[in-house]
Amino acid sequence: MARILGKQGRLQREAWQYFCDEVGAEYIVSQKRSKYDSVHAMYKSWDFVFDTFARSTGKTTILYTRVVAHYINSDSFRFRINRAGILSGLGKKLGMQDVVVGHPPFDKDFIIQGNDELKLKMFFEHDRIRELLHGLPPFILEIKPDENWAIHDFREGKSELYFEATGIHYKDGIMFRLYDLFAEVLDQLHHLGSAHENHL
């Protein structure tokens, strides 16, 4: 079955339930063997979905922690960020350029790619976002079209803010850090005119 079993599964469920109690989120137990439990947390009009999933390489199955939030993208702005050395070249295949945002420690530790260099630099002027990203395990954070939304409608269409990290992460306040990160990112996107705050 999909639910994580054993001591790790119990500790994860306890940590997730504590998070739900603290922020008023909802813990959803999956009724399907093929899916994992999830947490739905609201911030303003945005719904953050925390869950885990598995990818199979044929010989092994790797578990991941994931967070997704959908929003209305009011322009074509997108980015992808990951720690240096973690799938660093993938964004280039999507037509995005490497960007130095002007904060040397941050630029050294992360590969930052986007389709609007000026807006990306403005986005990462946000000190709290940089601080929250530094405290995370190796990850990918990106803006991409919603999988259920036509790719050619990315402009002024439905997009998703997407995070994933290898492994099951629930210790050391990770859920709270990710919640704060998504809140800060969407607020900053809204401030820059790239995200509507209205409900989808």
pLDDT tens string for the chain (200 positions)? Answer: 355 667 777 888 899 999 999 999 999 988 776 678 899 999 999 999 999 998 888 888 899 999 999 999 888 799 999 988 655 545 445 555 688 999 999 999 999 999 899 999 999 999 999 999 999 999 999 998 765 544 444 445 789 999 999 998 888 899 999 999 999 999 999 999 999 876 55
- Taking the C-alpha atoms of residue 162 and residue 60, their distance in angstroms, rounded to an integer, is 24
Letter string b/e over residues 23-55, b meaning 16 or more CB atoms within 10 A of that residue's CB: eebebeeeeeeeebbbbebebeebbbbbbbeee
Q: In angstroms, rounded to a whole number, what is the distance separating the alpha carbons of residues 103 and 126?
A: 11
- The rounded distance, in Å, linking the Cα atoms of 112 and 95 is 13
Structure pTM? 0.87
167 CB-side CA count, 13 A? 9
